[in-house]
Amino acid sequence: MRIATITNFAYIATVVLTLSSGIALFMASNAERAEREAIAHSRVFDALSDELEKEAFALTDLVREAVIKQRPEDIQAWRQKLQQDIKLEDQLIRLRDRKATTEEVLILRDGIKMLDTLEDEQQAAIAAVEAGNAREAVELVFGQQYEEQLDQAEYRFNHFRSLTDQRTDKAVAEATALSQKLRTLSEIMVGLTALLFLFVLGFIIKHRILRPVVTLSDVVNRLASQDYAVETPVLAQVDEIGDMAQAIHIFRENGLARQRLEQERDAEWACRTLLARMSQRLQGCDSHSAIIRVVSRFAPQIIPEMGGRLYILDTQKNRMKCSARWLLPPGDETTFPPESCWALKRGQLHCPSRDTVDMPCEHLPPEIAIRAICVPLIAQNKTIGLLTFDNAAEKEPPYAYLELMAETIALALANQMLRDTLTEKATHDPLTGLRNRHNLDETLRALVEQAMANNSCLSCLMLDIDYFKKLNDNYGHEAGDKVLREVARILQETAGENGIAFRYGGEEFLIILPDTTEAAARTLAEQLLRNVLAHRIFYESQDLGQVSVSIGLATWPQHARATNLIRAADLALYMAKEQGRGQIVIARNVGTPSL
- Catalytic positions: 507
In 3D, which of 314, 382, 353 has the Cα closest to residue 361? Answer: 353
Burial of 426 (0-12, 13-18, 19+ CB in 10 A): exposed
Residues 428, 298: contact at Cβ < 8 Å?
A: no
In 3D, which of 173, 187, 183 has the Cα closest to residue 27? Answer: 183
Residues 518, 555: contact at Cβ < 8 Å?
A: yes
**Using CA atoms, how far apart are residues 214 and 55, in angstroms rounded to an integer?**
88
Classify the phi-psi angles of 348: left when phi > 0, otherwise alpha if psi is within -120 to 50, otherwise beta: beta
Q: Which helix (H) or strand (E) holds 517?
A: none
**Using CA atoms, how far apart are residues 221 and 548, in angstroms rounded to an integer?**
96
Helix (H, G, I), strand (E, B) or coil at 91: helix
What residue type is assigned to position 14 of the chain?
Answer: T
Q: Rounded to the nearest 5 degrees, what angle is found at the Cα of 573, between the Cα atoms of 568 and 576? A: 130
Q: How many CB atoms lie within 10 A of CB 245?
A: 21
Q: How many CB atoms lie within 10 A of CB 90?
A: 11
What residue type is assigned to position 573 of the chain?
Answer: L
| Torsion sign across C-alpha atoms 205, 210, 212, 218 | positive
**Using CA atoms, how far apart are residues 93 and 87, in angstroms rounded to an integer?**
10
Q: Which residues contact 14 (CB under 8 A, 6 or more apart)?
A: 193, 196, 197
Q: How many CB atoms lie within 10 A of CB 184?
A: 12
